[in-house]
Every structure is written in C-alpha cells, then in structure tokens.
C-alpha cells in the first residue's frame, strides 16, 4: 500500500518512522510519503489560507495549492482521497478494514476553518473522496486524525503486526467476542501490591479461562459501552446475562 499525506505540518508525522509502521516502511511493506502543502505555493510568503467568503471567524485554506498538490501526488493513478473533518462520516473499525484493501490512499490534512469546499468537489471528478470524522470532538487540524486512521488501517496489512501484537486483534474476532471491548489482562508477577492475578488464569483450564474472559468482556462492555450491548445478538448473551 502507498499512502500520501499532504499537510502544512509534515513533521507531525515523524511518529510514522517509529515502531511497527516504521519497520513496515523500512522493509518496503508500506510506502508512506509526507508532503508539505507549501511546496505548491508560489508567493513569497507561501500563503495557504485566506479570509472566508461570506465573513465569519478564522481563515480558510485556499484551493489552488491543494489542487496542484493533489494533481501532482495522485498523477492520474487510482487513489482514494481521505479528508479528516469534524463534519465527516464516523470512522469505524469496518472502515479501517475496508481501506486496508486499497492500493493507494491520500490524506489531506486541513487546518484553520477547513479547506475550500471546491477542493473535494474537484477531486471527486477524478477519484473517490471520503470526508471522515474520528470522533465528536474538535481538533485544530486533520493531522492527529490522519495519524489515528493510518495506524488503524496499516496495522491490518499482512506482515505489519508481529505474531505477539496480533493477539489483541484476534480476541475480538474469535469465539463470540464480536462487539465486545477487551477485558482485563495480566502478566507476571502473580502478586503485585497486594493484588493477585485471578486464579482462573493460572488454572490451565482453557475452557474456564475462555468463559471467564468472555464474562469479563461482557461486564466491561456493559459498563463502558452500553451502546454496544444493545447491538449484541441475543445468542451472544448466555442465560445468566439475559436474567440480569
């Protein structure tokens, strides 16, 4: 997969040189290119913003630099443009899985009050464009959202996660754990600050461990994400949970 990121703060993406994504880039598994939008300005001040038509606070990102940047970066190849915005469609795990199947993604990071709306409309003449929100809170720009989405997407690519890291992904896919949040996890020592690891986890009884983990995940989901419990199919709850 090739990912292009266009931003006025390219240094924001230094974290993509680290850890699993950094390793995937170094191995050639993943091709991530970060571009400074100001490379496509032609004035002395490298201007990327101007006042909003119709008045109102703040500034809007000018369309010209974006148009030239997208023309050059995409260069006619099949690519999907992702524009983080508070007004976008919610980004979910299903979107990460869908986008992990794409050959090329381009992330356009807005700042100020956003990007002139004609940029998305013009790009949509040549490629799929998705306006996406990572949550109902307002950031100062699209960079953090892009980091979040790039991590959520690229960790799903074959070979990016090592064997030890993939366990978390599997626990959500296996044995009736769909739609549940992760329950508690423990490692050595067995006693720490007067807290003991739940004995069932030391029992060697894998059936009992699986049942305990599912019960803990159900409880944590019901406590922290009641919205998910409602969506859970009846058969996912055992008789005891139905009586609660």
Ligand X SMILES: Nc1cc(-c2ccc3cc[nH]c3c2)n[nH]1
Q: Looking at 38-46, 135-143, 195-203, 220-228, which segment touches ligand X (CB under 6 A)?
A: 135-143
Quick one: tokens of 207? Answer: 């059936």
Catalytic residue annotation: 86, 113, 155, 170
CB closer to ligand X, 141 vs 176: 141
Near ligand X by CB under 6 A: residue from 138, 173, 191, 244: 138
CB closer to ligand X, 149 vs 160: 149
Quick one: tokens of 75? Answer: 């260069």
Near ligand X by CB under 6 A: residue from 8, 24, 107, 111: 111
Helices (H), 44-189: 63-74, 93-99, 118-123, 143-154, 167-173
Quick one: tokens of 94? Answer: 């299903």
Near ligand X by CB under 6 A: residue from 13, 30, 34, 110: 110
Q: Is 145 in the site for ligand X (CB under 6 A)?
A: yes
Q: What string of DSSP letters covers 76-131? A: TS--EEEEEEEEEEEP-HHHHHHHTT-SEEEEE---TT-B-THHHHHHTTTS-EEE
Q: Is 84 in the site for ligand X (CB under 6 A)?
A: yes
Identify the CA nearest to 152 among candidates 198, 240, 90, 229. 90
CB closer to ligand X, 138 vs 244: 138
Question: By the criterion CB under 6 A, which residues form the site for ligand X?
Answer: 84-86, 110-111, 114, 133-135, 137-142, 145
């Amino acid at each position: 997969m090739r990912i292009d990121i266009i931003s006025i703060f390219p240094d924001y993406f230094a974290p993509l040189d680290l850890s699993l994504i950094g390793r995937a880039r170094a191995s050639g598994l993943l091709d991530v290119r970060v571009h400074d939008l100001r490379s496509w300005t032609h004035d002395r001040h490298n201007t990327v913003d101007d006042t909003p038509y119709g008045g109102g606070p703040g500034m809007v990102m000018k369309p010209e630099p974006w148009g030239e940047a997208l023309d050059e970066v995409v260069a006619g190849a099949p690519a999907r443009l992702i524009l983080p915005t508070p007004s976008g469609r919610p980004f979910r795990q299903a979107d990460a899985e869908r986008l992990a199947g794409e050959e090329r993604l381009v992330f356009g990071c807005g700042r100020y009050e956003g990007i002139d709306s004609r940029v998305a409309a013009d790009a949509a003449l040549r490629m799929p464009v998705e306006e996406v929100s990572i949550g109902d809170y307002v950031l100062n720009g699209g960079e953090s959202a892009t980091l979040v989405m790039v991590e959520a997407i690229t960790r799903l690519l074959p070979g990016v996660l090592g064997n030890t890291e993939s366990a978390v992904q599997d626990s959500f896919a296996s044995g009736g754990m769909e739609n549940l949040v992760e329950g508690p996890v423990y490692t050595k020592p067995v006693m720490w600050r007067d807290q003991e690891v739940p004995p069932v986890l030391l029992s060697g009884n894998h059936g009992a461990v699986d049942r305990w983990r599912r019960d803990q995940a159900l409880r944590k989901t019901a406590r922290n994400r009641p919205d998910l419990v409602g969506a859970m199919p009846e058969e996912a709850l055992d008789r005891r949970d139905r009586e609660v």
